[in-house]
Structure 1
Amino acid sequence: MQQLNTRHPCSERNLCMEEQELQFIQSKIEALLFAYGEALDAKRIADAVGISEADARRACDALAQKYERDASQGLCMVRHDDAYQLGTKSEHYALIDACIKQDFQQDLSRASLEALSIVLYRAPISRAEIDAIRGVNSSFIVRNLLLRGLVERVPDTKGHHIFLYKPTIALLQLLGISSRESLPDFDTLKKRCDMLFEQNAESENDIVQTTAPVQFRYGGIYGASEQNQDGKIT
């Protein structure tokens, strides 16, 4: 005998809507964590997405389970205390490590020089502020600079799980200066960075090109660089 469906149609529709809403919230959180590139606590996630902290935690935990179950996903959810961050699964470590090491054998790109210039002239500065000045996501570039030992991050005393970036002593030594104030046109270019941040600049054309006539290779100075007539680093 065929069993009757005892569920009320309205209940099924409500359940379907709840599942769709949860998936949409997870999609928002996934995009937020990917774009931010660093750990965000439940409160900041909740405020950004427009949900409660409890719902933010549930959605993040559901995402973590989704990544863990799905072998086709290369990501994982990293949780520390009440903060969440996207990471990569351990089985892909060798692939990522080889790619990063290969990148270290090359000179810094123009984008990396831009980010490094901003850190030098406006430190201490958050990753979000670097993004605002450059007008694009800088998470991978900042991570590259960290791994090269050119910048370091320190906790922001004003916010939990927020970090600020500043140049390392090794970078100042490579540039041959004793302090950031010795950089060319320091006051002028620092004010320019401040203005670009306030305007939430969206164009790379307004970015400080470089801090000093140097290029870097992993582990030290590669050699002096010059600017051509277009103002590009060669």
Structure 2
Amino acid sequence: MTVEETAEVPPTLRRDLEAVMMVVDQPVSEYDLARALGVPVAVVSETLESLSREYTEQGRGFDLRAVADGWRVYTRPECADIVEHFLKEGQEVRLTQAALETMAVVAYRQPVSRGRVSAVRGVNCDGVMRTLVLRGLIEESGHDPESGALLYRTTSYFLERLGLRSLDELPDLAPFLPDDIEGLDDTGEHT
């Protein structure tokens, strides 16, 4: 009998996996989950498959799927219309701090790639960018000729929501920048 076979499975494993799966914004591997939770990969795999079947049987609005060498929670396809309606036209929801920061980077740096926005902010911005696209505040604007990365820009709806006629009316950032701006690269790090 191997160490993995004798490892004790915590009674909270299902709950713990659900909690982790609700916060990841990209597929996470069974190996990474097993390592983080201190249980064998086979146990994680079996538990995720069980949870996925359970969610389907119960007709939940979300689905747990194995994709891209990992697992992630997704909205069920039959719920796509209602989710889109809520995000676009539903109740007026204020933007989170992360969304506001991401919007600022896009507004002042456009056209800009997701990677560049993430580099400037210092965190992965993929989920926030998707939300801003769904809300109609930013849109795709072609590909970077050098890297091939998808580029984003603000929309006319963005200008409308801010009460601006054009991007030229965005406030100047200079008063908010540190005095020792010389020597800073594009991400705000000292060179």
Q: Report the TM-score when normalising by structure 2.
A: 0.56
Q: Which runs of 5+ in 2 are unaligned?
A: 1-7, 142-148, 177-191
| Residue 143 of structure 1: aligned partner | 130
| Residue 65 of structure 2: aligned partner | 78
Over aligned residue pairs, what C-alpha RMSD do you find? 4.0
| Residue 125 of structure 1: aligned partner | 118
- Residues 1:36 and 1:56: Cα distance change in structure 2 (over 3 Å): same
In the TM superposition, what are the counterparts of 1:208-223 in structure 2 within 5 Å? Answer: 217-218=156-157, 221-222=159-160, 223=164
| Residue 169 of structure 1: aligned partner | 151
Query: Relative contact order, CA 8 A, sep 6+: which one is greater?
Result: 1
- Measure the CA separation in 1 of the matches of 2:74 and 2:127: 12
| Residue 31 of structure 2: aligned partner | 43
- Residues 1:124 and 1:95: Cα distance change in structure 2 (over 3 Å): closer
- Measure the CA separation in 2 of the matches of 1:107 and 1:150: 19
- Measure the CA separation in 2 of the matches of 1:51 and 1:57: 10
Query: How big is each residue's C-alpha offset from its partner over 1:187-231, in whole Å with a ceiling of 9 and x where there is no partner?
Result: xxxxxxxxxxxxxxxxxxxxxxxxxxxxx554x64323559xxx9
- Measure the CA separation in 1 of the matches of 2:52 and 2:132: 28
- The aligned length equals 142
| Residue 179 of structure 2: aligned partner | none
In the TM superposition, residue 125 of structure 1 has moved relative to its aligned partner by: 3.2
- Measure the CA separation in 1 of the matches of 2:42 and 2:72: 17
- Measure the CA separation in 1 of the matches of 2:133 and 2:127: 10
Give the counterpart letter for 1:65 in structure 2: R
- Residues 1:53 and 1:146: Cα distance change in structure 2 (over 3 Å): farther
Residues 27 and 69 in structure 2, CA contact (< 8 A), matched pair in contact too: no
Residues 105 and 117 in structure 2, CA contact (< 8 A), matched pair in contact too: no
| Residue 115 of structure 1: aligned partner | 102
Give the counterpart letter for 1:76 in structure 2: D
Work out which of the two has the higher radius of gyration on C-alpha atoms and give 1 or 2.
1
Secondary structure of the equivalent of 1:51?
coil
- Measure the CA separation in 1 of the matches of 2:61 and 2:81: 13
- Measure the CA separation in 1 of the matches of 2:123 and 2:71: 21
Q: Which runs of 5+ in 1 are unaligned?
A: 1-16, 132-137, 153-165, 175-215
Secondary structure of the equivalent of 2:123?
helix
Give the counterpart letter for 1:169 in structure 2: L
**% identity of equivalent residues:** 14
Question: Are residue 31 (structure 1) and residue 19 (structure 2) matched?
Answer: yes
- Residues 1:45 and 1:90: Cα distance change in structure 2 (over 3 Å): same
